[in-house]
Structures are given as structure tokens and as C-alpha cells.
Amino acid sequence: MAKQQTFGDKLKKKKQTDELISVRVVQGLQSELRGTVRFVDLMVKVKDLNELEKIDITKF
């Protein structure tokens, strides 16, 4: 049986995934009832760190 995937194909796949940066976004939210602070965190993949300001993790 012949090998279907070459080493070059594997490298192309890896380069595509390396373009994204994994970042943990932590946001503090204040409770309306008690006034306590609750922290919500989420792992996000972004192309550029400037996109972090646009992320609102309260939707998740």
C-alpha cells in the first residue's frame, strides 16, 4: 500500500495552524445582586493580538 500523505503535506498543515495564536482571555464581571466580582476565562485563537480588544466573552 502506498503512503497517501507526504511529509511536505504535513508541513503545509502545520504552517496553516501556526498562523493563529492561542490566548487565554480573562474578564472580571461584577454581580448585580451581591456586588461580588466573578472572573470568566476563555481560550481563543486569534491572528493578531489587536483583535483581543474586540472579544466579548460574556456572550459565551
Element (H, E) at 55: none
Q: Which residues pair with 34 in a beta bridge?
A: none
Kindly list the averaged pLDDT for each block of 10 residues, start to end, along the chain of length 60: 76 70 89 90 88 76
Report pLDDT for 59.
65
Could you tell me if 25 and 46 are in contact, meaning their C-beta atoms sit under 8 angstroms apart?
no
Q: What is the pLDDT of residues 49-60, one digit of tens each?
A: 888 888 877 765
> Cα(49)–Cα(43) distance, rounded to whole angstroms?
13
> Who contacts 22 (Cβ-Cβ below 8 Å, separation ≥6)?
43, 44, 45
Q: How many CB atoms lie within 10 A of CB 47?
A: 9
